[in-house]
Structure 1
Amino acid sequence: MDKQVYTKDDVMAILSCGKSKAYSIIKTLNKELEDEGYFIMSGKISAKFFRERLCLN
């Protein structure tokens, strides 16, 4: 995927998980970004940060 931002559908496809787990992962990662001072979008996660954080690079 060549996206800059992942949605729950992207997370579900990448991790083969359900909708609630995908939302939980996005929420957790967004909280980390927000704590570092980054602007976040509810229900979406930076693709770069997601892949780095889950060691998918």
Structure 2
Amino acid sequence: MESRFYTAKDIANLLGVGVGKGYSLIREWNKELQQKGYTTAQGRVVKAYADLKLGFGIQKEDVYGN
């Protein structure tokens, strides 16, 4: 079964940045999730939330209109 979480290494690979930056983003996103009342896991972030923050679900029409 595929994991529902990204690790810092996953984030680094997706964005072409260092693992340290991946950890930094995960800390930021987990803090946001905690403020919304969600439970988080250190060093991991829910894929659905990371995808939303990274704009992976955004359609061309959402950015450019029609």
Moved over 4 A (4+): none
Unaligned runs of 5+ in 2: 58-66
Letter of the aligned partner of 2:7 in structure 1?
T
TM-score, normalisation: structure 2: 0.79
Which one has more relative contact order, counting CA pairs under 8 Å at least 6 apart? 1
Larger radius of gyration: 2
Count of matched residue pairs: 56
| 1:49 match: secondary structure | helix
Deviations 1:9-50 (Å, cap 9, x if unpaired)?
110110111011110000000000000000000000000000
Task: Quote the sequence identity (%).
Answer: 30
| 1:32 match: secondary structure | helix
TM-score, normalisation: structure 1: 0.91
Unaligned runs of 5+ in 1: none
